[in-house]
Homo-oligomer: A and B are copies of this chain.
Amino acid sequence: MAHHPPARPAIQESVVRLRVTYAEVDRMGFLHHSNHLRWFERGREEFCRRREAAYREMEDAGVLVVVVDLAVQYKAPLRYEDLADLSVKLVEVRHASIAFEYELRRVADGELAAAGRTRHAFVTREGRVTRVDERVASLLRGDETVRRRGEVE
């Protein structure tokens, strides 16, 4: 883990602000390390939504996007009620997979709390790997659209 490659340039990037809720912290009072993955996922969801590449529609159309591998480095704890900015970068779009990188920073002092990356494959409901849909890929590569009023969390 110590020698993983440097962060790749982003094809596109979104930033999402999140707050640590009570149910997400552990006995130490820190954001439980499994919840960073749920936050990364929420970042990806928002990244897609801002490009109208709604994951729900893909999945309803029978294409599943599954996590193939991931890595996380935990740098500093996030505590209950802390605010953090999650930057989500699309760093790779291949035939049958895409990859994202993440940086999570405490709002109070800008300190890096965690960094990570995830790789995702597109599979059919029967489990067969399928190509990334070209329309989806092009939406993902596109700029953020204006956020529709009342649509944010």
Contact = CB atoms under 8 A, between A and B. Distances in A.
Copies of the protein in its oligomer: 4
A148 to B, nearest CB: 11
Contacts of A17: 152-153
Given A26-B23, A83-B151, A1 B38 contact: no
A61 to B, nearest CB: 13
26 contacts: A1-B70, A1-B119, A17-B152, A21-B41, A21-B45, A22-B27, A22-B45, A22-B55, A23-B34, A23-B38, A23-B41, A27-B27, A27-B59, A27-B80, A28-B59, A28-B64, A33-B37, A45-B81, A49-B81, A55-B81, A68-B73, A69-B72, A69-B73, A71-B72, A77-B127, A107-B150
